[in-house]
Amino acid sequence: MKFGYARVSTRSQKHDLQFDALLKEGVEQGNIYADVSSGAKAERKGLDQLLSKLREGDTVVVWKLDRIARSLSHLAKLVGLATKKWTIR
């Protein structure tokens, strides 16, 4: 299954560009998870929900890597999970 993740840093920003890109890549709207959260914050409910849904062979699509990862070490942790669960493109 194909999932998407979008994040904006403040409530004054909109997810629209990210959602449009995810939909264009074939992610169904119901499979897009999103957060409004600073990249520095560790708690992201949308990302946690997405991670809990993933199964072997699933694909996660993001507009840009900085939307899903807070830092290089966080990205490395997610990639570690990806090798077990996700298809990386």
Catalytic residues: 9
Q: Is the alpha carbon torsion for 46, 48, 52, 54 positive or negative?
A: positive
Q: Is the alpha carbon torsion for 52, 57, 63, 65 positive or negative?
A: positive
The Cα–Cα gap between 86 and 55 comes to 7
